[in-house]
Chains A and B, each alone.
Chain A
Amino acid sequence: MDESVGKMRDVRREKSGGEPVGRAFLWSLAAMLFVLMGFVRDSPIRNVPLFFAMEDEWERVDNKTFIGTYQNLDTLLEHELYLLSGKTGEPLLFYSDIVTPVCIDGLCKPVYIELYWNLAGNYAGYGVYEELPLTKFDHDEFVAADHQKMHQLLLDNGSVLSRKKLEDLFDKNAEPAKKVEYKGEEVDAVSGATLKEIKESIIEGALYSCYTLWHLVHGEVTNKIEEHLQTIYSPELERTFLYSNYEDYHFYALKKMEGAAFEPHLSRITEIFRTDKPLIRSYILKKMPKDLLSDEAAGRALYGAFSTVDVNSKTLLVDNLEHAHASAVTLLSGQAEEMSRNQLKSFLSFLADDESRLTPAIRENLQRAAASEEFAYGYLIGQFLE
C-alpha cells in the first residue's frame, strides 16, 4: 500500500447510524467487556475515516457483513469484524468498530476508534467519533500531528512495538521481561536504541494507546481476515487484485497463481515486475513458469527493464537467460554496464557456453561497455573478448 496516499482528511464527523457507543467511562475491564458483548451494528459505515491509505474503496462501501470475532490478546476482549462491500457485492475492506480499554497503574479509560484493513489484511486507515476523540493520558485531545504519527505507526508492520512488552515501555515498577542495561542506561537489546529513543517514535503521553492499537491492528485479526479472504477469493477477485494499484494485492494474487495461470496475465505481470518493490519482482521471476520467458514480448518487457530494476532482480534475470527468448540476450548485452561484477561474469559465462550466442551485435555492445570509463568491470569483458 502506498503510504503517501494516506492523508489526513477533513473531519466531517457524522455519527454512525447504529446504536450509540456507550458514553459512560468504563472503569473496569469486566464492565467494559459486558458492554462490548452486546455491541452489534449492521448499518453501512457513515463516519468518514480520518485517515485512509487507499483509493476510493471507502466511498464505494454499500454493505457490511459480520464475519466473526477476534481477540485482542492483550486485553482478552473480543472484537467484531465486518466485511465492507460495494453495490454489486464486491468485497472492498474489512472493518471493526472498537472500544477498548487502555490502562495505566490500574486506571483504565476507553478508546473509541474505527479501524479499516484492506482485503489482504493490511491496515488501511482509521476513524474517530467527534464526541469521543482520542486523548492522551492527561486527557488532552490528539492534535493533528498526533493523529499523523498514529497513522504512520499503524502502517508500520514491523514496528518496534511488535516485540515489546508493555511493561518494558511503560511501567517502571514492573520487572521488564527483557531489560538490558549498560552503564546505567537501558538499551533496546535489538536495535541498540535507548528506551527514550523508542518512546520518541511514539506519541508522547499516548504510549499505551499506541501499544494497544498497534497490537489490535496487527494481531489475531489479520489471521481472521486471511481465513475469510480465502473463502471469498475468486477469479474476479484475482483479477481485481492483479490489476489494482496495490502491491500487497499483487503479491497475494501472485502467491495464489500456479503454472498456467500466469499466461493470460503475462502482460500485466511484466508491468508489475517493472513497477513493484524488489521483493515482488524477485518472486515473479522465481515463480513464473520458465517457458513464458521464451515469449518474445515478455522477454522484451522483462529484460528491457533491466537497467531500471533492483540488483537482486537483475541477478535473477541474468540467471534465467537460458530460458529467455534470444532477443533478451542482445537486450542485456546493451545494458552490460548496469551489471554487477558477478552478474557480468555470469552473463559472459553464458555467452561462453555456446559460441553462437556471441553475435556481432552483442560483441559490439560488449566492446562499447568495455571501452566505457564509467564502467568498473569493463576489464572482465576485455579478458573475455581476448
Chain B
Amino acid sequence: MKKIIKTILGTLALSAILANGAAAQTDVLIEAESFPDKGGWVVDPQFVEQMGSPYLMAHGMGTPVRNAATEVKLEKPGTYHVWARTKNWAPGKWDPPGQFQILIKGKALPNKLGLKPGWGWEYAGEVSVSEKTVALELADLTGFNGRCDAVFLSQSNENPPAFGEKLAEWRKEMLQEPPAPEVTKEFDLIVTGGGLAGCAAAIAAAEQGLEVALIHDRPVLGGNASSEIRVHTLGIYGKFERILRKIDTEHYPNGSPDAILDQKKRDENMKSYENIHLFLNWRAYDAVSKDGVIQYVDARQTSTGERIRFRAPWFVDSTGDGWIGYWAGAEYSYGRESVYKYGEAWEEWGELWSPEEPDNAVMGSSILWRTKVMETSKSFPKVPWAMEVAQEHEATAGEWYWEFSRNDLHQIEDGEEIRDHMLKAIFGSFANAKRKPENDKYQLEWVSYLLGKRESRRLVGDHIFTFRDVLDDAQFSDSVVVEKREIDVHFQLNLQDESKPDFLSKALFYKTGYYYIPYRSLYSRNIDNLFMAGRNFSCSHVGLGGPRVMRTTGQMGAAVGFAASLCKKYNVNPRAIYTNYLEEYMNLIESQQWTNP
C-alpha cells in the first residue's frame, strides 16, 4: 500500500510557511487513515468536506479496539514533539468518551488525547528518537469513538494551524500535493455514489455497452442498503425488476445481519460486469464545469490519499447529497418549501406535513443498531456523556424511527454532530436498559457509525416532482419511474410532545395509487451533462417522501443509465433524449420489462 508519510524536504516555500525553517526538514505529517495496520479502528470519510479529511475512529461499542499502527520515517534523530488532530466529541462535565494515546516505539506519550471540543491539534508529548524509522500506534482507551485525523511530529514545539483555510493550505504543503491529480482516467459515464441508484445506473449503462466508472467512498456497495447501514429496500421495481433484483435486499428487519447476504449478492453482481470499473473507497471531492458542462470529477482514495481525475462526456450524481451538482454549480434546493409553493397541503397534518413558511426542518438521519442476548451476564460501561441525549429512554434495539433532525442542524454540514447525537442516544438508551435485571445478558452486537440519510440537497431538473403530481395523478410522456408506496414524511416526536426523546421520529403516510416520475426530474436544469438519481433527484421536500426508498431510487438509476446509452449513441446531452429521442428511449425502457420465466 502506498503510504502518505511525507517528510518535508526543506523547500524555500515551506520554510516560509513554517516558522522554524531549520526544523521544517524534520516535520512529519501522517494521515491517520493511511496507517497500513488500522487495528480495530475504522476509516470514517463521511465528513471530509467539513473537517478536512477522512479519519480513524475507535468504534468499539464500549470495548477498546486494537491499536492502529504505522511506521514513521524520520530524517534525523532528536527530540520530537507530537500532536494529534482530534476532538472531544461529547464535551461536558464528564470524562471525555473518546480518549486515546499515542505510542511511539511501544511506549505511550504522556498526554491523553480527545479532550478538547472541536477539531484541533492536541499535544501528546515529546519523544527522543535515535532511529530513522519508529513504530507509531494509536491506543484506544475507551471503545467509545475516539477519533484521530492525523499525527504531526516536529522538532519545533510550535502548534500546527488549528483549523480553516490555514490548516488546509498547511496540509497541502506538508503532503506536497500538486494542485491537480496526476492520474487521469476516461470513461463514457462517471457515476459517483454506489448506493442503489448508482449501482442501477452503472448496470443499465454497462449493459448497453458503455464503459462506466462507479466511484464510491466505502468498501461495499449499496449505500443505505449496504451491510454497513442495513436499511432494507422498499418500493416496487417498475420496469427494472431484472436489474434491481441484482442489488436490492430482502425485507429483513432494519439492522439485521442478513444484510450481509444481500451485500454479497450485490457485490458479486456488480463485479460481474467487465465494463463497470469500480472505484471502491474513493471519495469524490470536486467537480468542475465550464459553460455549464462538467469537465471532470476529482476523487481521492480514502486511505492512501491517492487522487484520480475522472473525465467523461456524461456524469451521474448519485451521491445522495448532490455533491457533484453542488461542486459543478447545479441549481439545488434544501429544506421544506412553503406549503403554498407547489400546493402540497395535507390538512390533517398541517405544519408537520408542509409548513406555511419554508424552513430547514427536513427528515433526519438514522443510525441503526442491534443487540443480542448472550449466555452469561454482560456489563456495559457507564456513559454519563450520553445521558443528556438519552435521558431516561431505555432500549435494546433500534429501528428506522431512531432518527435525528433539528432546525439548526444541516443534514450535510452538521452530519458529524448528528451522527454523534445518535451514538449518544443509542449508548445512553442501552445503558439505561441495562440497569434492569431482565437485560442482564444483553450485549451490543452492532452499531453503525455511518449515517443513513433520508434527505439532503435536491438538484433541480427540468421537472420538479412534488406531492402535487401525486394528488393530480399526473402521468407524463416520459414517465420512467413508477411507484405506489405511500408518500411518507417524517417529523420529530418532540415537536408534538416535548417529553419525548429528540432522536425519535414519526412517519405520516399519505395513501396513494400509482404515481410517476418523469425523466425530466433526472437531469440537471443548468448543468448540461449531469444526470441525477437517488434522493438528490429533482423534487420537493414532500415529493421526496414517497420515492426516496431504494427500489424507487434504483429505478431512477436504471432510467438514467439507459438514457446515458442514448446520449452516447447520438452524442447528445440528457435533455435531448427528452426533446429528440423520447420514443426510442421509452421503447428501450419498455423492453426492460421482465417477467419471471
Report which A residues bind B (CB closer than 8 A): 158, 162-163, 180-182, 187, 189-192, 222, 226, 255, 277-279, 282-283, 286-287, 310-312, 314-316, 340-343, 346, 373-374, 376-377, 379-380
Contacts and interface: CB of A to CB of B under 8 A. Distances in A.
A286 B355 contact: yes
B495 A277 contact: yes
A279 B407 contact: no
Interface of B: 91-93, 116-118, 234, 250-254, 347-348, 350-352, 355-357, 359, 361, 399-401, 406-409, 414, 417, 486, 494-498, 502, 506-509, 511
B253 A187 contact: yes
B356 A380 contact: no
A315 B234 CA distance: 34
A279 B118 contact: no
B93 A373 contact: yes
A283 B351 contact: yes
A376 B92 contact: yes
Given A226-B347, A315-B407, A380-B118, A287 B496 contact: no
A341 B416 CA distance: 12
Given A286-B357, A376-B92, A278 B494 contact: yes
A222 B253 CA distance: 35
Contacts of A374: 92-93
A279 B494 CA distance: 9
Contact of A379 (B117, B350, B414): B117
Contact of B417 (A283, A286, A341): A341
Contacts of A316: 407
Contact of B251 (A180, A226, A255, A373): A180
B309 to A, nearest CB: 35
A278 B495 contact: yes
A342 B414 contact: yes
Given A277-B495, A277-B496, A379 B118 contact: yes
B164 to A, nearest CB: 10
Q: Closest 3 A-B residue pairs measured CB to CB?
A: A376-B91, A315-B408, A342-B408
B351 A312 contact: no
Nearest to B347: A226
Contacts of A189: 234, 251
Nearest to A190: B507
Nearest to A380: B118
A373 B117 CA distance: 12
A287 B338 CA distance: 12
A286 B401 CA distance: 27
Contact of A192 (B250, B399, B502, B509): B399
Contacts of B93: 373-374
A311 B497 CA distance: 13
A306 to B, nearest CB: 13
Contact of B117 (A158, A162, A314, A377): A377
8 contacts: A163-B509, A180-B251, A182-B252, A182-B253, A279-B496, A340-B408, A341-B417, A376-B117
B21 to A, nearest CB: 27
Given A286-B356, A286-B359, A342-B408, A279 B495 contact: yes
Contacts of A222: 348
A39 to B, nearest CB: 28
Contacts of A311: 406, 408, 502
Nearest to A344: B408
Nearest to A311: B406
Nearest to B93: A374
B428 to A, nearest CB: 16
A315 B408 CA distance: 6
A191 B502 contact: no
Contacts of B92: 374, 376
A380 B350 CA distance: 37
Contacts of A343: 408
Contacts of A377: 91, 117
A179 to B, nearest CB: 11
A158 B348 CA distance: 10
Given A163-B486, A278-B498, A312 B355 contact: no
B399 A310 contact: no
Contacts of B361: 312
A191 B408 CA distance: 27
A208 B146 CA distance: 53
Nearest to A180: B251
A136 B507 CA distance: 31
